[in-house]
Chains A and B, each alone.
Chain A
């Protein structure tokens, strides 16, 4: 049993080969879907989320090259490792497949140890890619959350998924959530204060201050001649 089983698509027109491959892979704990030609392989790819494809080079109708070309040109599939199956002596076709983007090749007749090693290496690459994709997606969630904070549409639960990570990104999300929650709480409080905005004046104290000013001789004098002091139409005579 392998430690990290995957979901593997086997495409080979030879029924015996299909059976041998499927059994070998299932013995190692993998889930397998086996198809007999290129068209079926593409249909299967559209239906399922495969971690690896074992693809025979020579098949009737759509051959392995064509299927490989389709896989590599389709953004949804191009990250799935493809291991080509070819006869040991057919070096040219192996080279061509590698140049077209195949990850590896498996010579016929199959050696179980080699099969396991190739499959495990392919699955490891796929997992690394998936992890990278997931990481980038979650970085995207944090960036989107920052934009939402700016527009006032951030909801603290929207980062829960990222915050559960036990790495630096998870810590960033948790700190971000906490800071955003604090800012939101402060804003709520301020808004509440605005709603309760009261202009409270100690009238008695204000009256005392007014009296202190207005009861001076200077002020009384000023008050008496204030209207004269103001510029009138005669100023620019």
Chain B
């Protein structure tokens, strides 16, 4: 049975896309067939982590939503460029970074319902075990749809006051949509914080399981922006934490 996992954060800059890309890669390393859709149409980004050159591709999620291509044509197999040794597959459906395309989405919008149809088609046509949705921060219509469709929703937050309230709002909304599995990921935790204590406090405050507490450091920021962290640094302690998150999201 396939599973849809949305990775969301109420505010930007939490490291949501990074977490999604690394979890997808770890799943593929376990032999799973994984699809990743960048539903952050207004500010796409996850393609850079996968190393996809958008100039070299013809179709993205935008073309699918405008009816000019099939969703599977917008799905790019990233496995070979990530690591040919991966036992599974990673397919990426990027959102277009062309200024005209983004402007058109903002101006004309699109039929949000097509997303659901497209996600189902992707899962079916590509025989996906897991479909991961990298969402737009906040709670707009496509994000709400992504959340509603999810079997698991991972909400990424930083341990700071700016993220607390938005996370609470997202959780309330997800509970009203009866998402079966909700989990929090605390990211960019200052080194002075005790991860176990942060985990317990966040869990208590939201009455929601915390999959992991990831640390913040300048070194990590620099290393993780250049590609898929778990492939470049398989023995790093943060990779172990990302493995824990992966195990929890697919438990």
Residues of A within 8 A of B (CB): 187, 190-191, 194, 197, 199-202, 205-207, 209-210, 213-214, 218-219, 222-223, 226-227, 229-233, 235-237
B:157-203 near A, CB below 8 Å: 159, 161, 164-165, 168-169, 172-173, 176-180, 190, 192-194, 197-198, 201-202
**CB distance A206 to B197 under 8 Å?**
no
Q: Which residues of B contact A235 (CB under 8 A)?
A: 1-2, 120, 123-124
**CB distance B165 to A213 under 8 Å?**
no
Decide: A214 near B176, CB < 8 A? Known: A202-B165, A229-B149, A233-B1: yes
Question: Which listed residue (B4, B151, B176, B192) contacts A191, Cβ 8 A?
Answer: B192
Q: Which residues of A contact B17 (CB under 8 A)?
A: none
Question: Which listed residue (A207, A213, A227) contacts B144, Cβ 8 A?
Answer: A213
Distance A231 CA – B159 CA, assembled complex (angstroms): 32
Q: Which residues of B contact A209 (CB under 8 A)?
A: 165, 169
Question: Which listed residue (A190, A230, A233) contacts B192, Cβ 8 A?
Answer: A190
Q: Which residues of B contact A207 (CB under 8 A)?
A: 172
Question: Which listed residue (A197, A219, A222, A227) contacts B159, Cβ 8 A?
Answer: A197
**CB distance A219 to B120 under 8 Å?**
no
Q: Give the A-B pair count, Cβ closer than 8 A.
A: 94
**CB distance A236 to B165 under 8 Å?**
no
**CB distance A213 to B173 under 8 Å?**
yes
B148 at interface (Cβ–Cβ under 8 A)? yes
Q: How far is the CB of A171 from chain B (nearest CB, A)?
A: 29
B:103-144 near A, CB below 8 Å: 116, 119-120, 123-124, 127, 131, 139, 141, 144
Distance A206 CA – B169 CA, assembled complex (angstroms): 6
**CB distance A236 to B2 under 8 Å?**
yes
Question: Which listed residue (B123, B131, B145, B205) contacts A229, Cβ 8 A?
Answer: B145
**CB distance B123 to A222 under 8 Å?**
no
- Chain A binding site: helix, strand, loop or mixed by DSSP? helix
**CB distance A205 to B165 under 8 Å?**
yes
Known: A194-B192, A205-B165, A235-B2. 16 other contacts (CB 8 A): A187-B192, A191-B192, A194-B198, A199-B202, A201-B168, A226-B148, A229-B149, A230-B150, A231-B2, A231-B119, A231-B120, A231-B151, A233-B1, A235-B123, A236-B1, A236-B127
Closest 4 pairs between A and B when the two form their complex, measured CB to CB? A199-B205, A190-B192, A226-B148, A210-B172
Q: Which residues of B contact A190 (CB under 8 A)?
A: 190, 192
Decide: A230 near B193, CB < 8 A? Known: A199-B202, A222-B144, A223-B176: no
B3 at interface (Cβ–Cβ under 8 A)? yes
Q: Which residues of A contact B123 (CB under 8 A)?
A: 231, 235-236
Distance A209 CA – B198 CA, assembled complex (angstroms): 26
**CB distance A194 to B193 under 8 Å?**
yes
Question: Which listed residue (A194, A210, A229, A237) contacts B148, Cβ 8 A?
Answer: A229
Distance A163 CA – B102 CA, assembled complex (angstroms): 60
Q: How far is the CB of A58 from chain B (nearest CB, A)?
A: 69
**CB distance B197 to A201 under 8 Å?**
no
Decide: A200 near B144, CB < 8 A? Known: A206-B172, A210-B173: no
B:28-63 near A, CB below 8 Å: none
